[in-house]
Amino acid sequence: MELKKNVKNENGTCELEFAIDAAAFNEAVSKVFKKTASKYKVAGFRPGKAPRNIIEQMYGKDVFTYDAINELFPANYEAAVKEAGIDPVDRPEVDIVSADAENGVVLKAIVTVKPEVALGEYKGLKAEKTVHTVEAATVDAEIDRMRERNARIYSKEEGNAENGDTAVIDFEGFIDDVAFEGGKGEKYPLELGSGQFIPGFEEQVVGHAVGEEFDVVVPFPADYAAEELAGKTATFKIKLHEVKAKELPAADDEFAKDVSEYDTLAELRASIEKEMKEQLDRQSELEAENQLVDQVVTGMKAEIPECMIRDAIDDMVRDFEYRMESQGLKLENYLQYTQMTMEKFREGFKDQAEKQVKMRLALEKIVALENIEATEEEFEAEISRIAANYKLEAERVKAMIPTAEVKKDLAINKAIDFIKSNATITEVENKKAAE
Task: Note every long-range contact of 248-251, with CB atoms under 8 Å and residues 24 or more positions apart, other chains counting.
Answer: 248/144, 248/147, 248/148, 248/150, 248/151, 249/147, 249/150, 249/151, 249/152, 251/143, 251/144, 251/147
Final residue belonging to a domain, choices 247, 269, 284: 247
Check whether residue 179 and residue 99 sit in a common domain.
no
Check whether residue 217 and residue 286 sit in a common domain.
no
Any idea what the CATH number is for the domain that residue 96 is in? Answer: 3.30.70.1050
Residue 39: predicted pLDDT: 85
Residue 26: predicted pLDDT: 92
- Please tell me the distance from the alpha carbon of residue 29 to that of residue 22, in angstroms, as a whole number: 10
Any idea what the CATH number is for the domain that residue 221 is in? Answer: 3.10.50.40
Report if residue 241 sits inside a domain.
yes
- Please tell me the distance from the alpha carbon of residue 282 to that of residue 272, in angstroms, as a whole number: 15
Per-residue pLDDT of the chain (435 residues; tens, 9 = 90+): 889 999 998 889 999 999 999 999 999 999 988 888 888 888 888 888 888 888 888 888 888 899 999 999 999 999 999 999 999 999 999 999 999 888 999 999 999 999 999 999 999 999 999 998 999 999 999 999 999 999 999 998 888 999 999 999 999 999 999 999 888 999 999 999 988 899 999 999 999 999 999 999 999 998 887 888 889 999 999 999 999 998 999 999 999 999 999 999 999 999 999 999 999 999 999 999 999 999 999 999 999 999 999 999 999 999 999 999 988 888 888 888 888 899 999 999 999 999 999 999 999 999 999 999 999 999 999 999 999 988 889 899 889 899 999 999 999 999 999 999 999 999 998 754 444
Residue 333: predicted pLDDT: 87
**Residue 20, Cβ density class (10 Å: 0-12 exposed, 13-18 middle, ≥19 buried):** buried
Residue 109: predicted pLDDT: 95
Report if residue 406 sits inside a domain.
yes
Check whether residue 296 and residue 169 sit in a common domain.
no
- % of the chain with per-residue pLDDT over 90: 74
**Beta pairing partners, 235:** 174, 217
Check whether residue 262 and residue 231 sit in a common domain.
no
Check whether residue 267 and residue 229 sit in a common domain.
no
Report if residue 200 sits inside a domain.
yes
Do residues 301 and 355 make contact, with C-beta atoms less than 8 angstroms apart?
A: no
Report if residue 145 sits inside a domain.
no
The domain of 407 spans 258-431
Number of domains in the chain: 3
Report if residue 127 sits inside a domain.
no
Check whether residue 68 and residue 208 sit in a common domain.
no
Check whether residue 414 and residue 383 sit in a common domain.
yes
Closest CA to 35 of 62, 71, 77, 76: 71
Report if residue 137 sits inside a domain.
no
Report if residue 408 sits inside a domain.
yes
Check whether residue 285 and residue 172 sit in a common domain.
no
Final residue belonging to a domain, choices 197, 217, 247: 247
Check whether residue 225 and residue 268 sit in a common domain.
no
182: left (phi over 0), alpha (psi -120 to 50) or beta: left
The count of residues in the chain is 435
Check whether residue 329 and residue 406 sit in a common domain.
yes
Final residue belonging to a domain, choices 112, 140, 165: 112
Report if residue 135 sits inside a domain.
no
The overall average pLDDT reported for the chain is: 92
Residue 424: predicted pLDDT: 95
Closest CA to 384 of 402, 396, 374, 375: 396
**Beta pairing partners, 214:** 238
Check whether residue 278 and residue 229 sit in a common domain.
no
Residue 364: predicted pLDDT: 95
Any idea what the CATH number is for the domain that residue 286 is in? Answer: 1.10.3120
Check whether residue 86 and residue 208 sit in a common domain.
no
